[in-house]
Structures are given as C-alpha cells and as structure tokens.
Amino acid sequence: MSAETTQFDAVVIGSGPGGEGAAMQLVKNGRRVAMIEKYASLGGGCTHWGTIPSKALRHSVSRLIEFNANPLFTAGCGHRSMSFADILRHAQGVIQQQVQMRSGFYQRNGVTVLHGVASFEGENKLKLTQADGSVDYITTKQIVIATGSRPYRPADVDFNHARIYDSDTVLSLKHEPRSIIIYGAGVIGCEYASIFRGLGVKVDLINTRERLLSFLDAEISDALSYHLRNSGVVIRHNEEYERIEGHEDGVTLYTQSGKRLDADCLLYANGRSGNIEELKVENVGLQPNHRGQLEVSAQYQTSVANIYAVGDIIGYPSLASAAYDQGRICATAMCFGDCEQRLISDIPTGIYTIPEISSVGKTEEELTQQKVPYEVGRAHFKDLARAQISSMAVGSLKLLFHRETKEVLGIHCFGERAAEIIHIGQAIMEQKHGGNTIEYFVNTTFNYPTMAEAYRVAALNGLNRIRD
C-alpha cells in the first residue's frame, strides 16, 4: 500500500482513558478527530494490562476467600480452589466487554480509528507505521499524546526468562506456582500479593522502603501490613536486589543485605516508564525526563504549542480516573484556548488489595506536620449490621476533621467496598461555603442496614471526643 496523507483537525495517540476523554470531547466540539492505537484492540493499558484485569482477578479471588470463610457454603463440601489460569479466563471476558463498549463510543461519535505506531515527522505531521509495514502520513492542526506507561525493566533482570514476569506479562502466566517473589511493594505489588496469597501461593513481598505504601495514612498502612502478614505474606522491608537468577524450574533473588530467596517465579513490580520512544518526540524538540515523561502546563500543553499530553505520560497522579478528566480538560483548552476546569485537589485513591483501601484528603501525619487542630472519628465495620450480615467484619472508616470548624479534612477507609464507600464522604468534602462539616453525617438519615451508616457512627465517635 502506498503512503497516503490524510488531514484531521486533531489526532489523539493512545486509546486509554486519557486519550478517550480527549477524543470524545474534541469530536463533540465539532473537530474532525483521528485516534491512533498501536494495538489491535482499543482501551490501552488500563483495559488490557492494568486496571481492568488486575481488578477482575482481585474480585474473583476475594469472592473465593469469602466463600471458603463461610461455613454455610463449605459445610460438607470442603474448600474450593481456583487456579490463576481459571480467574484469568474470567478477566478476559471482562476485557472483551470493555473493548466492545469503547469501540462503540468511537463508532457512534464519528472518530476515525487508525491502528499502527505513530511517530512525529513534524509539529503537524505524523508517520503511521502499520503492522504489515505499510506507512501512511497524517497532517493535523493539533495532537494529544496519551501513550501511557509500561512496567520499568532494569537491564540486569532477564525478562525473557520463562519464570520472570512484570505486571503486563504476568497476565500470560500458564503454570501454577506454589511460591512467588514479588519485587516492589507499591500499589501493583501489594495488589498482586493479595491475589496470589488468596490463591494459596506462598508470597515473599520485597519492599525497597521502610513501610508499605508510605503515602497512605500510617494507620491504614499498618492495617494493610497486618492483614497481609496475617494471611501469610512474608514482607521484607528496606531490601534491594543484588541479582536475580532464573532457573529451569524457578528463580533465586539475592538481596544486597545478603539474603537468598527462592521461588517458583518472580514478579518485578517496581516502577513504570512512559511509552515515549517510538514517538520520536525529538523531531519536534520535546525532551522527556529520565522516566520517559513529558512536562506540561496546567492546560496539558507541552512546550510545543499545538502538542498536548495527558495520562501516565505526564506522571502524577497516574490514575485512570484522573487521566480521563485530564483528557477532557485538555480537549476543552485545545478548542477554546483555555479551560477553567481543573483536576480536583483531593483526588481519591482506590487500592484493590484484600482488604480494599481508599483515601481522600489529608493524612494524620500531614495534619500534624501542618499543626492543624484536628480530631478523629472512627467506625469499625464489625459493629455495623450490614457488615455482620455480609460477613465483612474486617475494616474501618476514619474521619479527620477540624476541631473548631468541624470541616472534614481527610477520609480513610479500609475494608471491602472501601473504594465505593469513600465517595459519600468525598461529595461532602467538595461542598463549599460551610457545607463541608462532619455534622452532616449526624444530621442526615442513612438507610439501615448499610455500609454507608459507618459515616454516622464515625461522626458521632469524633464529636464525642470534643464535647466538654
């Protein structure tokens, strides 16, 4: 096929949440838009390798644990077991549903979808190299880079070895490991530690830092450590590898402190890098940082006026939910020269360990450092009727609020459905002009029995601490 040149108003590179948000907003504002996706299926890393598959895996394992812990179901039939391959098949079904839905968005809205690898020929010209080697050229007024990120791969680790994985390739795991070393105890490492341990696999979790997920409120971080250890995960803090050796039937990791760890396989989950190399951004004068990320303005504009970037390729907060919002804000700025909307200052975090974690706002450590006079209100799930009915007694809700104004400053939830429960409090935190106070949770009426009732219990607990 000979090279052809096609003209668009805007081209978005990468069909993850950031790219999708930008493309939809651009086309709804009358722009002629093309979406370039490297892979055969739409959805990006979020759909195929990150958020969707890992959360589908986690859900299946969590339900398995819940089933096996309930004597009502296990009496007379013993415990059920599942293989990693079994639950991967379920995840693949979810992925296909997501791909079909997202493909429909582009078709209905008239976005031209092109498959291939995009690279810059100039500020307004892209080269599209397709899987069969054929080349087309695209000219466009504006470009959005939304190519996402991939797991960081240090050069001294052999990722071609059949027993050494990263968080992308682990989704093709075929054998049934009895033991696994997970190197890196960030969000991804902790989530997979929960998943594998829930399947009965022995887990060594290697943390290069002093405590798990140090950005969390310390009490929540401690709770996660306790429950991972209580489930049988061995956590090793302040450790770094010296070398990793793959064998025919397993992997050996040697630490810089002199330890030797052996397991059937290893998951390397320590850091991510921006997908920047194939773009050849140097052709337009862009300089990514050492992590392959681009610097952008508040409007997501790069140093080249007509080129924008959103999502993991710009770094923080590296969340699918935030990337979609970034795409919409970016597209509005591209159409109108400015966008008043910004990402909210308090972005909620959802961490899909077992049990689940979600937080929004300040931690106790931050408030103490800032010398804010705060108080704490707590509700333990074991005291809630809905949690007792559902056998979800593990967990708690913690409200941090200003002692004088009663303003809610931070919300931290640990336990099943935490990432859902957090949004009730987040909605109140976002209220302005005196609407954000802990007293809302006391004065409103919650359905009973519900997990949401934890807010009333926690608010009363906190207010009781400051009454004279």
- Domain co-membership, 307 together with 186: no
Q: What pLDDT is attached to residue 338?
A: 86
Q: Is 415 marked within a binding site?
A: no
β-partners of residue 77 are none
Residues 111 and 174 in one domain: no
- The count of domains in the chain is 3
Spatial contact of 13 and 36, defined as CB atoms under 8 Å apart: yes
What is the C-alpha to C-alpha distance for residues 161 and 167, in angstroms, rounded to an integer? 15
- Is residue 343, in this structure, part of any structural domain at all? no
Residue 157 lies inside a defined structural domain of this protein? no
- Determine the pLDDT at residue 439: 94
186 marked among binding-site residues: yes
* Residue 137, annotated as binding a ligand: no
Residue 258 counted as an annotated binding residue = no
Mean pLDDT across the stretch 195-210? 95
| Residue 424 annotated as lining a ligand binding site | no
Residue 1: the pLDDT is: 38
To the question of whether residue 228 is assigned a binding role by annotation, the answer is no
Does 131 lie in the same domain as 81? yes
The answer on whether 362 is annotated among ligand-binding residues is no
DSSP states along 105-141? HHHHHTPEEEESEEEEEETTEEEEE-TTS-EEEEEEE
Residues 460 and 362 in one domain: yes
Is 46 flagged in the annotation as binding?
A: yes
Task: Write the pLDDT tens digit of every residue in 425-463.
Answer: 999 998 877 789 999 999 999 999 999 999 999 999 999
Residues 292 and 210 in one domain: no
Q: Give a yes or no: residue 444 inside a domain.
A: yes
Q: Is residue 258 part of a domain?
A: yes
185 is in an annotated binding site: yes
| Contact in structure between 18 and 311 (CB atoms under 8 Å) | yes
Two structure tokens written together for 186: 């960030």
Residue from 45, 81, 64 nearest 354 by CA = 64
What pLDDT sits at residue 429?
A: 93
Are residue 20 and residue 122 in the same domain, yes or no?
yes
Residue 35 lies in a domain: yes
Would you put residue 329 in left (φ > 0), alpha (ψ -120 to 50) or beta?
alpha
Shared-domain flag, residues 195 and 259:
yes
Kindly state whether residues 307 and 455 are assigned to the same domain. Answer: no
Q: What is the pLDDT of residues 155-186, one digit of tens each?
A: 999 999 999 999 999 988 888 999 999 999 99
Residue 19 marked ligand-binding: no
What is the number of H-type helices and E-type strands within the chain?
13, 22
Domain end, chosen from 211, 245, 269, is at: 269
**Of 269, 299, 324, which one is at a domain's C-terminal end?**
269
User: 459 and 390 in one domain?
Assistant: yes
Q: Are residues 34 and 122 in the same domain?
A: yes
Q: HSE on the CB side for 6, CA within 13 Å?
A: 17
Position 131 scores a pLDDT of: 87
DSSP string covering 352-397: -SSS-EEEEE--HHHHHHTT--EEEEEEEGGGSHHHHHHT--SEEE
Q: Binding site annotation covers 55?
A: yes
The answer to whether 191 is a known ligand-binding residue is yes
Is the domain of 96 the same as that of 146?
yes
Residue 331 is assigned to a ligand binding site:
no
39 is in an annotated binding site: yes
Residue 227 lies in a domain: yes
* Residue 261, amino acid: L
Residue 199 lies in a domain: yes
Residue 228's H or E segment, with its range, is helix 218-231
Q: Containing domain of residue 181, as a range?
A: 164-269
- The reply, when asked if residue 366 is annotated as ligand binding, is no
Q: Is 366 exposed, middle or buried (0-12, 13-18, 19+ CB in 10 A)?
A: middle
Q: Is residue 350 part of a domain?
A: no
Which residues have CB under 8 Å from 57's CB, separation 6+? 87, 88, 91, 195
Domain with residue 299: its CATH number is 3.50.50.60
CATH code of the domain covering residue 424: 3.30.390.30
- Please check whether residues 324 and 373 belong to one and the same domain: no
Query: Binding site annotation covers 437?
Result: no
Amino acid code (one letter) for 437:
T
Instruction: For residue 190, say whether it is annotated as part of any ligand binding site.
Output: yes
